[in-house]
Amino acid sequence: MGLSSVLEWIYRSDQLSRISPDDLARIAALGLRTDYDLRTAEERVEAPDEVPPGVNTIWLDVLADAHQSAPAQLGKLLQDPKAANAALGGGKVEAMFVQGYRDFVSLPSARQGYRQLFIGLGRPDGQPAVLST
């Protein structure tokens, strides 16, 4: 079995919340079985995934071990311009994002999450799947 036959039905979404009924119908037509949600708890509460009935959502918080991840906290920071300027000004934002994206793949929670993701994708009943990031 070649790689292309194993990974044929994997989609990626930057958000699955606040979607229109027409878009939900289009998503349902994909026949998804699994929604792998890689977002933080805060991100999930703020904008929960909306998937068709019967889709199994598996939460894999790859940033669970991060103290403060800039990519995950950006929306919250930008709600207060003064706090955002203090936290992100003077070149700090670049360093925070570099570290945040390193954390996204290197933290123990990330390694565990990706392990679960790839094991799940390899299962016959794990696809078609969508990755929410």
Is residue 51 located within the same domain as residue 114? yes
Share of the chain above pLDDT 70, in %: 86
For the chain, the DSSP string reads --HHHHSSSEEEES--SS--HHHHHHHHHTT--EEEE-S-HHHHHHS-----TTPEEEE--TTTT-S--HHHHHHHHTTSHHHHHHHHTTTHHHHHHHHHHHHHHHSHHHHHHHHHHHHHHHSGGG-SEEEE-
> Is the same domain home to 5 and 23?
yes
Residue 2: predicted pLDDT: 42
- pTM of the entire predicted model: 0.76
Domain identity same for 119 and 100? no
Structure confidence by residue, pLDDT tens digits, 51-81: 999 999 999 999 898 876 555 566 677 777 7
Claim to verify: residue 30 and residue 41 sit in the same structural domain:
yes
Query: 60 with 121, same domain?
Result: yes
Quick one: 49 and 18 in the same domain? yes
| Containing structural domain, residue 127 | 1-64+109-132
Residues 44, 96, single domain; the answer is no
Assess whether 79 and 36 both reside in one domain: no
In contact, 113 and 38? CB cutoff 8 Å? yes
Q: For the chain, what is the mean pLDDT?
A: 84
75 lies in the same domain as 88: yes
Name the domain count of the chain: 2
Same domain, 120 and 75: no
Written as one letter, the residue type at 41 is A
Same domain, 57 and 94: no
